[in-house]
Amino acid sequence: MMYPYMTLNDNTEITHSEMKPDGRVKVYIETPVYGGFHDATCWLPEYTWEFHGYSETEMSYFKQLIRDNAHLMMEFSQEGGSSYAR
């Protein structure tokens, strides 16, 4: 299951999964664009990334944003998401 975490001003959605049995959490970023979406996936706590359509500048921003919020997403992943996102 994916839980909403944050929506940015450009309608980019950031969601995270529950914590997997191996302790990993999937973070998914999706931005609507004409004809589809740009998307990125980050696995915490390793910070391994896959992305499609985003520029290096955009990815630099997202990587910092996830690093700054990873501790919260890891915590919320064990509690069924953030109470603020409900």
pLDDT, one tens digit per residue, over 74-83 is 999 988 766 5
Q: Is the pLDDT of residue 22 over 80?
A: yes
Angle made by CA atoms 63, 65, 70, in degrees to the nearest 5: 90
Q: Is the pLDDT of residue 31 over 70?
A: yes
Residue linked to tokens 């921003």: 61
What pTM does this model have?
0.89
User: What does the domain layout of the chain look like in residue ranges?
Assistant: 2-85
Confidence of residue 86 (pLDDT cuts 50, 70, 90): very low
Of 50, 42, 2, the residue nearest 24 (C-alpha): 42
* pLDDT tens digits, one per residue of 33-72: 999 999 999 999 999 999 999 999 999 999 999 999 999 9
